[in-house]
Amino acid sequence: MSALFDLPPAAPPGFRYQAGLISPDEERTLAAHLTELPFEPFQFRGYEGRRRVVSFGLKYDFNGPGLVDASPMPGWLLPLRDRAAAFAGLAGDDFAHVLINEYREGAPIGWHRDRPVFDKVVGVSLLSPTTMRFRRRDGARFERISVPLEPRSAYLLDGPARTDWEHSLPEAAAHRYSITFRNLRR
């Protein structure tokens, strides 16, 4: 078992990582629930992404008004929400939004920062590993850091990692889910 808050060799300030947030059995149970969800292709200002998504609590509509209501979080997701919240130093109810991404082989996510309406971001990776890439402008160039994300791990984006750095994921090498919890900025 790894340390409570593992730090990769290099990570932006405000980034925290925990390997093994959930057990392999918990991962299998979550993955079984995820196969039953009504995933839809990610939509961004008329562009359709290769990943598929579903949101609970709140949803960010990139083609319309922004933050809107979504279906309540299902009961089977609440224990993971509470564990992710504890990892972030929050109460479970603080997470008003969860976005679940399904990445099939070849599906990436481009460079972005999470919307300013959100504060802390906790992501939980399932099924296969990936690399979270970070960049921030340093004059005419970008400073870059890559952090491996293992299945069943969690990461926290807070402080500069959340506000000063963009992040992305390369094309998925294998089927993968990401469950991302966000609280609202006060």
pTM to 2 decimal places: 0.89
> What pLDDT is recorded for position 166?
94
> What pLDDT is recorded for position 101?
95
> What pLDDT is recorded for position 45?
66
> What pLDDT is recorded for position 3?
45
With a cut of 50, list the residues of the chain below it in pLDDT: 1-5, 7
> What pLDDT is recorded for position 42?
79
Compute the distance between CA of residue 68 and CA of residue 115 in angstroms, rounded to an integer.
Answer: 13
> What pLDDT is recorded for position 145?
93
> What pLDDT is recorded for position 177?
97
> What pLDDT is recorded for position 4?
47
* String of DSSP letters for 45-114: TTEEEEEEEEEESEEEETTTTEEEE-PPPPGGGHHHHHHHHHHHTS-GGGEEEEEEEEE-TT--EEEE--
Query: Domain 15-30+76-95+102-184 is classified in which CATH homologous superfamily?
Result: Alpha-ketoglutarate-dependent dioxygenase AlkB-like (2.60.120.590)
Q: What are the residue ranges spanned by the domains of the chain?
A: 15-30+76-95+102-184
